[in-house]
Structure 1
Amino acid sequence: MDGELTVGASLSLIGGAWSWPVHGLRHPPTTHTTGWYLWTGELSDADDFFLPWHLSHVLERLPLLGRVLESPPGSRFVVAPGYEDVWHDPSLSDV
């Protein structure tokens, strides 16, 4: 996956003041985005909860996510050191 593509990431994740686990869900990608949304803590529906962040920066900070971020659209995950749960959610393909 191209590291210049962006993900939607929570400010807590971008700012570095985060803790495990990291959650993710993937919608179909677009021209400039991977379709991934990543967060820690409680998910919010606030308009400014997700900010664009280059995939390369995500992988620099969280190399543990590299493998799960290769999952196809419609995927969800929860990852922490020593724990990984990845599953398919068909509702994510319908955006």
Structure 2
Amino acid sequence: MEYDNYKNMQIDICNQFHAPYLDCGWDLKLGISRNVRTGLLPVNGLRLQPENGTSGWYIWAGEEMSQDDDFFVPLHTHHVLHWCKMVIPYLGLAPGWTFLVTPDYENVWNNEALRKAATTDTAGS
């Protein structure tokens, strides 16, 4: 499958929000909540440092992220196309970046605490 068009969309989002671009790794895994497939809104994403075959992305739907151990399931990034295509433009955001989107709204920000945690985790490895 050709991902160049998606990569260009991701680079555009990064440029729009003055964020560094980091390839999402279409063959890597991300964590995603099952409720994303139901169409529940908003859809949220946060990116940690990629490691051990993961892209670092965690994506969920709704107002709050559950703390349940089974809330996130592993999914290869390329399957997001069938779960929630709306998030694809944001998957090039670097670790420490977060998004919240609906069809009519987007909020993207550099989550300083998340970025510091990602940097600290990497430095401790």
What TM-score results when the alignment is normalised by the length of structure 2? 0.67
Alpha-carbon distance in structure 2 between the residues aligned to 1:3 and 1:60: 13
What SS class does the counterpart of residue 50 from structure 2 fall into?
coil
Alpha-carbon distance in structure 1 between the residues aligned to 2:83 and 2:65: 20
More helix by share: 2
Counterpart for residue 56 of structure 1: 78
Counting matched residue pairs gives 93
**Structure 1 runs of 4+ with >2 Å offset:** 59-64
What SS class does the counterpart of residue 25 from structure 1 fall into?
strand
Q: Kindly provide the CA deviation profile for residues 9-57 of structure 1, in whole angstroms up to 9, marking residues without a partner as x.
A: 11212xx223221001111111311111000123111111111011111
Alpha-carbon distance in structure 2 between the residues aligned to 1:17 and 1:39: 11
Over the matched positions of the two proteins, sequence identity in percent amounts to 40
Counterpart for residue 95 of structure 2: 73
> Which one of the candidate residues 24, 32, 47 is aligned to 1:26?
47
Q: Which runs of 5+ in 1 are unaligned?
A: none
Greater Cα radius of gyration, structure 1 or 2: 2
More strand by share: 1
Give the alignment's Cα RMSD to 1 decimal.
Answer: 1.5
What TM-score results when the alignment is normalised by the length of structure 1? 0.86
> Which one of the candidate residues 57, 73, 77 is aligned to 1:36?
57
